[in-house]
Amino acid sequence: MDKINLKEIKCISYERAEIKKGYTDKSLRINLDANEITISSIEERIKNKFIGGKGYDLWLMWNAVKASTKWNDPENTICISSGPLGGTPGYPGGGKSIVTSISPLTGAPIDSNVGGYFGPYKKFSGFDVIQVDGKAKKDTIIFIDGIENKIKILEANDLPTDSYELSDALTRHFDVDKPVNVSVVTAGPGAEHTNFGCLNFSWWDAGRKRVRYKQAGRGGIGTVFADKKVKAIVARFGAISMKSNNPADLDALKLVTKSHAKEIRELDPKQNRMSLVGTTHLVPIMNDHDCLPVHNFKFGSHPESRVIGEEVYEHIFDKGFDGCWKGCTVACSHGVKDFSPFTGPYSGKKVFVDGPEYETVAGCGSSLGIFDAHTIIEINFYCDAYGMDTISVGTSLAFVMECFENKLITLDHTGGMDLSFGNRFNALEIIHQMARGEGFGAIVGKGIRQMKQIFAKDFGADMAFMQDIGMESKGLEFSEYMTKESLAQQGGYGLALKGPQHDEAWLIFLDMVHNFMPSFEDKAEALHWFPMFRTWFGLCGLCKLPWNDIIPEDNKNTSEPAKVAKHLGWYADLFSAVTGRKSSPEDLISMSEAVYNFQRIFNLKMGFGTREHDTLPYRAVGPVTIEEYESRQERYDEQLKEKYGLDISNMDSKEKVAVLRQKREGQYELLKNAVYERRGWNNNGIPTVETVKRLGIDFPEVLEVLKKNGVA
Amino acid sequence: MIEVDEKKMPWSKDLTMASLLATLENVDFCSVVRLNGRLVSSPKFAETIIPDNSKIQLLPLVAGG
């Protein structure tokens, strides 16, 4: 790119707020309708209750949107925050941004936790959280310059259309001498033309001297970004140190940072080896436990999965430091150097691909019947460059392929493309179509929930069957774990506030493998504490992986090994050290519980958030088809006989499928009852007045929403 | 001899991963091991024969992804 052509529309100078104990106590609002830039103070009561990160995002959004607000209304808001602990160099996973908006897929608040340097750079530039609303008339760049203390709204012309080139060009433009000072948030053409656009958050890889990025993938926030005609948000800041957060106790911060980083450095090589293989170690593990989605979650394993797991990617990933935050010792953000795509606009060129992670391998590989590492890398590259979520892309395409194989859709509908499982060339072609908003790809880009309506209405497809096999809940496509044999993880997906994403609760090992939670009450308890700890990372600007993906050697000797108490103690110490607010591990739960329940009530405000919305496609619960049943017949037969005490000697497979379904769906409803009770919600899944009072979120507007829904 | 988490242990012919783990204490969380660098998960423990001189690491998996 020769020269960037930007026209200044608005510029303000500001006095950068001093960071105190992890907070700037300021928010920044950019309104694109009027090109207004507003800096506001954050009230102490909001800080104490919502902590930061996702909590701040949700509070600002709650005040910005109405119950009737749709994702593409001007008042819909994109919020990006860090958190009080975000920006601590050397703390593993200590540089996350949390992004929220009203989702094009779900119509409700969506949140996404992402690496890269943007969140800390924005905070150290003076803002705990930024809020972008309104709609620009022309392509726009928002520039937060924490070095010059200026905020600019810029009109952009003739910029590269995809994230891959755009983030590189803007990084070099905004600090040609020190590109490490710049982090860029971008989307791409796929975000413009699909409902599952993602955002790429960049950082400068000093070792490789190139821009890298991670994705805020879930729920289509990139689509909202593109709809607002925002091409990029850029943050620029200088050197960062342990003192940058102005912590309450610097020595304590140094001690806890050193302890956690050292443990990961020592134990990761003995455990999951994420600093070498990222999360691709999960491919063989999930496959062996029958939890790897194969052919749209029909099956949980496949013999060819061995060629798309860690043993392959360990040799493909480029060697070097791969932390998406400064000094992170997990350093799992691996990439592929000098990759040469064989399709699309980069065909024959050499590119650097950030990824793939487990979710992309499973969603765009095994679930599509594509057992080819090269194709998965290419899909990964284009999804990122186009600004599309690899999870929703993969899960949507898997649904399409099963519909095609069952003749619910035909060559007439797909533009002549055979979309059988394993057809990697046509899978890639659909992805290019999605990005262009053309052909059958334009339909796929709407996501599974809308595809079901279109296939039924326009193509005469069987809606009941599509409801069973379409892997979405609340409108969001499933992330990539099979849940048929883990009732707790069915709850982990079905009861997740934003939809079926595993970042809220991942209980497959604790439930299915270790059988640590045999009763409904046990599962409900885990579906309380696990999401609360995970929520806390999103409040504070941290990554979830260092909590329980690397385990202390003496963890098995503790009273509750599942909680990894040593790490929770460190997190409480970290919070205390930075904020000066003395905290225990139990306090982390109470911080999260307030925000978690607030988000549930936010869903309610937007017309969701009740029992009927916590449903799952039956494919997530049990075998939909006779083929699936018979593929694991021994397992299912035994359950019908032993667990449910049925005489199945005269049943054929069709009858067995039906009776197993009745039993399993009944179990899921019982699980909902137990979880609602544990969370202090009524039987319709709504927090009670007692609960919101206990949590201190009994604001008048919250009580009003409850009252409107019959809770007083 | 074999090494389990860097501790030497006796090896016997036809030793399986399941039978090895049955002799160890406090391995409730061990559903995955690395056997000479390769991942082996609990559904395959009974059929996995451990060769002599193997190095085994017990992986305490709690979460993922």
First to last CA, chain B: 35
Q: Residue A482 — very low, low, confident or very high, per pLDDT cuts 50/70/90?
A: very high
CB contact under 8 A, B41 and A481: no
Tell me the pLDDT band of B28, cut-offs 50, 70 and 90: confident
Query: B43 CB near a chain A CB, below 8 Å?
Result: yes
Three-state DSSP at A120 gives helix
Residue A16: count of CB within 10 angstroms of its CB: 15
What class is the A279-316+355-477 domain?
mainly alpha
The pLDDT value recorded for residue B26 is 85
pLDDT at A513: 86
Does A549 contact B at CB distance below 8 Å? Answer: yes
Contact call for residues A225 and A187 (beta carbons, < 8 A): yes
What top-level class would CATH report for the domain A5-236? alpha beta
Q: Is A620 helix (H, G, I), strand (E, B) or coil?
A: helix
pLDDT of residue B65: 63
Whether pLDDT at A511 is above 80: yes
Contact B63 A284 (CB under 8 A): no
Nearest to A270 among B41, B44, B57 (CB): B57
In a domain, B53, yes or no: yes
What confidence category does residue B27 fall into, taking pLDDT thresholds of 50, 70 and 90?
Answer: confident
Instruction: Decide if B48 touches A, using CB distance below 8 A.
Output: no
Statement: residue A454 has pLDDT above 70: yes
Instruction: State the span(s) of chain A assigned CATH 1.10.569.10.
Output: 279-316+355-477
A499 and A219 Cβ atoms separated by less than 8 Å: yes
Per-residue pLDDT tens over the stretch A566-598: 999 999 999 999 999 999 999 999 999 999 999
ipTM of the complex: 0.95
Using the beta-carbon criterion (under 8 Å), do A509 and B63 form an inter-chain contact?
yes
Is the model's pLDDT at A221 over the cut of 70? yes
Q: Is A322 exposed, middle or buried (0-12, 13-18, 19+ CB in 10 A)?
A: buried
Mean pLDDT of chain A: 97
- How sure is the predictor about A373, in pLDDT bands with cuts at 50, 70 and 90? very high
Mean predicted confidence (pLDDT) in A34-54: 98
Q: Which residue of A has its CA nearest to B55?
A: A270
Residue A639 DSSP label: I
Inform me whether the pLDDT recorded for A192 exceeds 70. yes
**What is residue A2's predicted lDDT score, i.e. its pLDDT?**
59
The DSSP-derived string for A300-325 is: S--GGGGGGSHHHHHHHSPPS---SS
**Domain that includes residue B15, residue range:** 2-60
- CATH number for position B8: 3.10.20.30
Per-residue pLDDT tens for A534-560? Answer: 999 999 999 999 999 999 999 988 998
> Which residues belong to CATH 3.60.9.10 in chain A?
5-236
Does residue A529 sit at the B interface (CB-CB below 8 Å)?
A: no
Nearest in space to A6 (alpha carbons), one of A136, A134, A139, A133:
A139
Q: Counting one residue from A and one from B, how many pairs have CB atoms under 8 Å apart?
A: 84
Distance, first Cα to last Cα, chain A: 60
Sign of CA dihedral A190, A193, A199, A202: positive
pLDDT, position B47: 96
Question: CA–CA separation, A383 vs A217, rounded Å?
Answer: 10
| pLDDT digits 0-9 by tens, A72-101 | 999 999 999 999 999 999 999 999 999 999
Question: Would you place residue A138 in the very low, low, confident or very high pLDDT band (cuts 50, 70, 90)?
Answer: very high
| For range A100-112, the mean pLDDT | 98
Could you say which of A310, A358, A549 has the minimum Cβ distance to residue B63? A549
Q: Give how many domains chain B has, as a whole number.
A: 1
Residue B40 within a domain: yes
Query: Measured between CB atoms, does B36 come within 8 Å of chain A?
Result: no
Residue B55 lies in a domain: yes
pLDDT beyond 80 at B64:
no
Q: Is B48 helix (H, G, I), strand (E, B) or coil?
A: coil
Residue to substitute from A113, A218, A266, A271, interface B, most B β-carbons within 10 A: A271
For residue range A660-705, what is the model confidence (pLDDT) as tens digits? Answer: 999 999 999 999 999 999 999 999 999 999 999 999 999 999 999 9
Mutation for A interface: B27, B32, B38, B47, most A CBs within 10 A: B32
User: Cβ separation of A513 and B26 shorter than 8 Å?
Assistant: no
What does R_g of chain A's alpha carbons equal in angstroms?
Answer: 24
Nearest 5°: the CA angle A600, A605, A609 is 40
Residue A491 has pLDDT above 90, yes or no: yes
Give this prediction's pTM: 0.98
Report the C-alpha gap between A277 and B14 in whole angstroms: 31
C-alpha A159/C-alpha A201 separation (Å) is: 18
Give mean pLDDT, residues A347-369: 98
Minimal Cα–Cα distance from A139 to chain B, Å?
35
pLDDT exceeds cutoff 70 at A1? no
Residue B65 included in any domain: no
Do A522 and A670 form a contact (C-beta atoms < 8 A)?
no
